[in-house]
Structure 1
Amino acid sequence: MIETFANRYTYVLVAALIAIGLYILIASPNMVKKVIGLSIFQTAIFLFFITAAFVEGGSSPVIDGDGLYASPLPQVIVLTAIVVGVALTAVALSLIVRIYSEYGTLDEETLREVRADE
């Protein structure tokens, strides 16, 4: 069993990053920390896609000849997801700046109380 983890250590890292990201999303009342947790979670998913697409001894599918080839599709999907993730993070942080300038707080519970009083 230890040998399996030694060969598949990236899956253990993915599981740890997913757990950390979800914990930050759920446990933290601060909105900036929630965005950081979402970013960690996204990074774990990207790492999972790249790890799952790895082919031992695989080469680029552009070269002619016989052999084992790795699909470039997961890499393309991850690159697209990275761009979308950066855009999502930028929009979320800009909304957080706007919320802070309007209400003066980043705490989720305090924001709910302020909104309920209006």
Structure 2
Amino acid sequence: MEILMSVTIGVLFMCATYMMLSKSLIRIIIGTGLLSHGAHLLILTMGGLKKDAAAPLLGQHADSYVDPLPQALILTAIVISFGVTSFILVLAYRAYQELGTDNMEQLRGNEGND
């Protein structure tokens, strides 16, 4: 299971890097979303995937328990990435309203320098 998750994380990081290197602002935003999802899966996989582990509750006796710390970190990271993504979307919408483009080269003003 860890091998499958590692391949999935690698594919997400690869797609995110490709999309963040493009010129379109929307693709950059989607790339940052993919990168955050890859990071969430990476934290979950590093915490260890157990098949028959029980929830860490008092009074419950089991052979192995699930570590709650990676799940808490992922929950916090999801909230932070949602806030950052919404801020970037609003910023991109406002830039498109003002300048009429989402091309990063035109937003930088490097269109006529070549």
Q: Does 1:15 align with 2:3?
A: no
TM-score normalised by L of structure 1: 0.83
1:32 aligned to which of 23, 26, 42? 26
Q: Does 1:84 align with 2:83?
A: no
Q: 1:35-73, CA deviations, whole angstroms, 9 ceiling, x for partnerless residues?
A: 000101111111111122223422111143352111111
Structure 2: 5+ residue stretches without partners: none
Q: Does 1:113 align with 2:109?
A: yes
Structure 1: 5+ residue stretches without partners: 1-5
Identity score, percent: 27
Which of structure 1's runs of 4+ aligned residues deviate more than 3 A? none
Q: 1:9-46, CA deviations, whole angstroms, 9 ceiling, x for partnerless residues?
A: 111011111111011101x1011110000101111111
Distance in 2 between the 1:83 and 1:7 partners?
A: 25
Count of aligned pairs between the two proteins: 110
Distance in 2 between the 1:109 and 1:115 partners?
A: 6
The CA RMSD measured in Å over matched residues stands at: 2.0
In structure 2, the CA distance between the partners of 1:85 and 1:71, relative to structure 1 (3 Å rule), is same
TM-score normalised by L of structure 2: 0.86
Bigger proportion of residues as helix: 1
